[in-house]
């Protein structure tokens, strides 16, 4: 069954936030760390207006979610989370391609990623290049790998 990429409905947002939380937890963080990240892992109805969000669906089940925000020529990858039972099955790549296509069509020339350290090798595999570190929005003092993917011009 092919993976379908589509926009989510507002009713699906609580389930998507739960997916993000489950997905982030695959790296083995403790419960205090995860609680500190909960707000950043939550998708609110207003995010449907202020950003672009897509879900990946397989066999009628949502297996991943991605969110980007474009400001001028820069797109930020705000979320990319795959259901833990579906890791390494190509869903991350499918949603990353959606993110780069969406960013390009909205006029961006680069996609900037502040990555979980364990996810950084995936982004390098997708062609992103390291460009320093960025402070975590959830954990004071924690620095995250920052990567950038150059986008083709349309
Ligand atoms: C990072 C993540 C989105 C990757 O999704 P995925 O569906 O497992 O990735 P895919 O199966 O599409 O992998 C695409 C390629 O990247 C490679 N890859 C995937 N995850 C990797 C990792 N952690 N380290 C190194 N390579 C990785 C795959 O082997 C595959 O390589 P190939 O081109 O040789 O086939 C997924 O691991 C995830 O959701 N992690 C938990 C949440 C998280 O940290 N998200 C990122 C927040 S910044």
Dist. CA 20 → ligand 1 center (Å): 14
Per-residue pLDDT band at 2 (split at 50, 70, 90): confident
If you take atom 18 of ligand 1, which residue's CA is the nearest one?
Answer: 122
Task: Tell me the helices (H) and strands (E) count for the chain, helix number first.
Answer: 5, 7
Minimum CA distance residue for ligand 1 atom 10: 90
- Supply the residue whose CA is at minimum distance from atom 16 of ligand 1: 122
The pLDDT tens digits for 98-151 are: 999 999 999 999 999 999 999 999 999 999 999 999 999 999 999 999 999 999
Own/partner long-range contacts of 129-137 (Cβ < 8 Å, ≥24 apart): 137/40
Provide the mean pLDDT of the chain: 97
Phi then psi for 76, rounded to 5 degrees?
-110, 130
Q: What is the pLDDT of residues 12-71, one digit of tens each?
A: 999 999 999 999 999 999 999 999 999 999 999 999 999 999 999 999 999 999 999 999
Ligand 1: residues whose CB is within 6 Å?
23-24, 26, 80-82, 87-93, 115-116, 118-119, 121-122, 125
Smallest CA separation from ligand 1 atom 48, residue? 115
Query: Ligand 1 centroid to 118 CA: how many Å?
Result: 9
Full set of structural domains in the chain with CATH: 4-150 (3.40.630.30)
- Give the per-residue pLDDT at 92: 98
Residue 150 confidence (pLDDT): 98
Closest CA to 51 of 72, 73, 78: 78
């Amino acid at each position: 069954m092919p993976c379908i990429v589509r926009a989510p409905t507002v009713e699906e947002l609580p389930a998507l936030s739960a997916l993000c939380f489950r997905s982030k937890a695959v790296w083995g963080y403790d419960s205090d760390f995860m609680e500190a990240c909960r707000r950043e892992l939550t998708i609110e109805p207003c995010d449907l207006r202020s950003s672009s969000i897509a879900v990946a669906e397989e066999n009628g089940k949502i297996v991943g979610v991605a969110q980007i925000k474009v400001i001028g020529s820069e797109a930020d990858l705000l979320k990319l989370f795959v259901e833990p039972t579906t890791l390494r099955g190509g869903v991350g790549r499918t949603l990353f391609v959606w993110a780069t296509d969406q960013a390009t069509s909205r006029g961006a020339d680069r996609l900037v990623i502040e990555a979980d350290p364990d996810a950084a090798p995936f982004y390098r595999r997708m062609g992103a290049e390291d460009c320093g570190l960025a402070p975590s929005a959830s954990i004071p003092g924690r620095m995250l790998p920052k990567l950038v993917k150059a986008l083709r011009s349309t």
